[in-house]
Chain A
Amino acid sequence: MQLKKLETGIASFDHISHGGLPIGRTTLVAGSSGSAKTLFGAQFLAMGIMLFDQPGVFVTFEEQVDDIRENLKSFNWDIDTWEKEGKWTFVDAAPKEEIIIAVGDFDLSAFRIRLERAVEKNKAQRVVIDSIGSIFTQFHEETHAIRRELIQVALTLSRLGATSIITAERLEEYGKITRFGVEEFLTDNVVILRNVLNNEKRRRTIEILKFRGSNHEKGENPFSINPEKSIVIIPLSAMNLQHISSNERVTSGIPALDEMLSGGFYKGSINLVSGAIGAGKTLLVANFIKGIRERNERCLLMAFEESHQQLYRNADSWGIDFKELEDEGLLKVICVYPEISSLEDHFINIQDIVKTFKPDRIAIDSLSALSRASSDKGFREFIIAFTSYLKHHEITGMFTSNTPLLAGGTSDTEGNISPITDSIILLRYVEMSGEMQRSIAVLKMRGSRHDSAIRKFTITDEGANIGKHFEGISGILTGNPMLIKLE
């Protein structure tokens, strides 16, 4: 039989935990300093009050109560009011200014009685103790006694029947669960928060290490601290491959390209356009956007390289009027520097826009620029989470990626994304008799036949023009085109 769980209300945590925290039990939330343990606990209580009308008790062993109230104000949690209404109760066990010395044996019965009273008084269903490690520093000479006493506290909590979180400090991101070994008696349920610096990028993750007698998702899931929603988890491990795969086709905006793709992109597919600078990637994106006209779809363009003005001017020069599409409410263009926030935040931002704008298509120009905002691993995870998100919503996506070499070659970005794309379009320069020519080829088209030719690609005032294939030339993809004599 599965243990019952208490829905926490923390975005996506209930998803990765298969329903929330084990009800009536204590969960250890361990993390290094600055890993958002306190916030996680506070959010657990705040969501309980806001979404489920469940009162909570917050015990602080570390931060002063006034500081906590002040810090949490930024998330629009009105703790003062909740305190007055008896929904949120603080138990202040933070260090005092006075000097404390220990002479002889003691117990923590005063604390237990205070905790019990607080829980009984406001009928708390949620309890947070933050953080248990600080009690060891408060009574640093008596760690043995403290450990013995904490077992009593754990027993008290389980007797009270509230669902509780105990936070604990760890020294390393990967190593012993907690600094003072409290996992010895709080072993049943363990959640780990990490804040890892990797290649100069911060990456926050949450991992459910174990829930005794109950299922949960395994592995680390990235999360972000959002100024409005506090902790937002991006559930990677819970992503599955059960999407609806549509047979419906949508136009790429270029009839000749549709033909190369045997009828256009699949609806809800992920399509990658790879090419060097100036090879025509943004042109393909502009046509992809123009393609929404055919069925009155809506498109969201996330531009990470160019400004509004540049984009509109360029589109204009190809005969595509972004302004008009935008005025009709069919197009939304968001221009941001990838560096302004983390990938997780970009993801959350895009999700928010998708919720309100409800686009049928999303174009990202370019993915390579976006990859600068994260570590390799983080980027890979973002891509998986993002493509799976798009497929789930049946949104057709077009991503562009920059290749470092003018002719031939691939980029790291592509290495990460190509396995999960449904089609890949290559735009390559071909150096021929002292002239740079452009080429276009469909490298991959999942679930369908496609044109295998490498074709001439020209950019004119009317936009994209796809011509005949390069006859008698080999080595375009490797960047060393050679004329082959045809027998």
Chain B
Amino acid sequence: MHVFQLFINGHSLNSIEAVDTLLKICKENLDGNYKLEIIDIQKNPDKAEEAGIIAIPTLIRMEPAPVNRIIGALNVRSRVLAGLGISSMHVTA
């Protein structure tokens, strides 16, 4: 089970791109076996404060351990997959 938090800022270009890419990965590579929380810092700044977020977008992989962070618009899919530790071979039809 993969658990993610994705911090975005409203409808900024980078935010939209990151959400799109991540949703695609979740659907195509994780077979629906994931939990994703999308947090808009405009609406929920306290959460950004708690997590110490500086950059937007920031993706936090909470599980599996160890926790890691990817910042940026996530536009190079192969690197995102590598960063999240997801095998790109695992593609559902």
What residues of chain A have their CB less than 8 Å away from a CB belonging to chain B?
92-94, 96, 98-111, 113-114, 117, 135, 138-139
A96–B69 contact, CB under 8 A?
yes
Which residues of B are found within 8 Å of A110, using beta-carbon distances? 7, 9, 41, 48, 53-56, 58
- Binary CB contact string for chain B from 52 to 69 against chain A (1 if under 8 A, 0 otherwise): 111111101000001111
B72–A102 contact, CB under 8 A?
yes
Which residues of A are found within 8 Å of B58, using beta-carbon distances? 106, 110
B19 at the interface (CB under 8 A from A): no
Minimum-distance CB pairs A-B, first 10:
A104-B73, A104-B72, A104-B75, A110-B53, A111-B54, A103-B72, A106-B55, A106-B72, A109-B9, A100-B69
A139–B55 contact, CB under 8 A?
yes
Report the contact-size class of chain B (Cβ under 8 Å from the partner): 20 to 34
- Min C-beta distance of A103 to chain B, whole Å: 4
Report which residue of A94, A99, A109, A138 has the largest number of chain B beta carbons within 10 angstroms of its beta carbon: A109
B24 at the interface (CB under 8 A from A): no
A106–B14 contact, CB under 8 A?
yes
A109–B41 contact, CB under 8 A?
yes
Give chain B interface residues in 46-93, CB to chain A under 8 Å.
Answer: 48-49, 52-58, 60, 66-76, 79-80, 83
Which residues of B are found within 8 Å of A96, using beta-carbon distances? 52, 69
A107–B41 contact, CB under 8 A?
no
What residues of chain B have their CB less than 8 Å away from a CB belonging to chain A?
7, 9, 12, 14, 17-18, 41-42, 45, 48-49, 52-58, 60, 66-76, 79-80, 83
Which residues of A are found within 8 Å of B54, using beta-carbon distances? 93, 108, 110-111, 135, 138
Which residues of B are found within 8 Å of A108, using beta-carbon distances? 54-56
A109–B12 contact, CB under 8 A?
yes
**Besides A98-B68, A100-B70, A105-B75, 16 other CB < 8 A contacts?**
A94-B52, A98-B66, A103-B75, A104-B74, A105-B14, A106-B58, A106-B71, A106-B73, A109-B9, A109-B41, A110-B7, A110-B54, A113-B9, A113-B41, A113-B48, A117-B49
Whole-angstrom CA separation of A93 from B56 in the bound complex: 13
Could you give 17 example pairs across A and B, Cβ below 8 Å?
A: A93-B54, A96-B69, A98-B60, A99-B69, A102-B71, A103-B73, A103-B79, A104-B74, A104-B75, A105-B75, A106-B14, A106-B56, A106-B57, A107-B56, A110-B7, A114-B48, A114-B53
B45–A113 contact, CB under 8 A?
yes
Which residues of A are found within 8 Å of B49, using beta-carbon distances? 114, 117
Which residues of A are found within 8 Å of B42, using beta-carbon distances? 113
Which residues of B are found within 8 Å of A138, using beta-carbon distances? 54
Q: A94, A103, A105, A107: which contacts B70 (Cβ < 8 A)?
A: A103
Q: B60, B68, B73: which contacts A105 (Cβ < 8 A)?
A: B73
- Min C-beta distance of A430 to chain B, whole Å: 76
B71–A100 contact, CB under 8 A?
yes
Report which residue of B67, B69, B71 has the largest number of chain A beta carbons within 10 angstroms of its beta carbon: B71
Which residues of A are found within 8 Å of B55, using beta-carbon distances? 106-108, 110-111, 139
Which residues of B are found within 8 Å of A92, using beta-carbon distances? 52
Whole-angstrom CA separation of A135 from B71 in the bound complex: 14
Whole-angstrom CA separation of A107 from B56 in the bound complex: 5
Closest to B48 in A: A110
A104–B48 contact, CB under 8 A?
no
Which residues of B are found within 8 Å of A104, using beta-carbon distances? 14, 17-18, 72-76
A107–B14 contact, CB under 8 A?
yes
- Min C-beta distance of A220 to chain B, whole Å: 35
Whole-angstrom CA separation of A110 from B67 in the bound complex: 20
Which residues of A are found within 8 Å of B71, using beta-carbon distances? 100-103, 106, 139
- Min C-beta distance of B23 to chain A, whole Å: 15
Whole-angstrom CA separation of A139 from B49 in the bound complex: 19
Which residues of A are found within 8 Å of B7, using beta-carbon distances? 110
Whole-angstrom CA separation of A454 from B17 in the bound complex: 93
Which residues of B are found within 8 Å of A98, using beta-carbon distances? 60, 66-69
B76–A103 contact, CB under 8 A?
yes
Q: B12, B17, B83: which contacts A101 (Cβ < 8 A)?
A: B83
- Min C-beta distance of A370 to chain B, whole Å: 49
Report which residue of A94, A100, A110, A114 has the largest number of chain B beta carbons within 10 angstroms of its beta carbon: A110
Whole-angstrom CA separation of A111 from B57 in the bound complex: 11
Whole-angstrom CA separation of A368 from B76 in the bound complex: 69
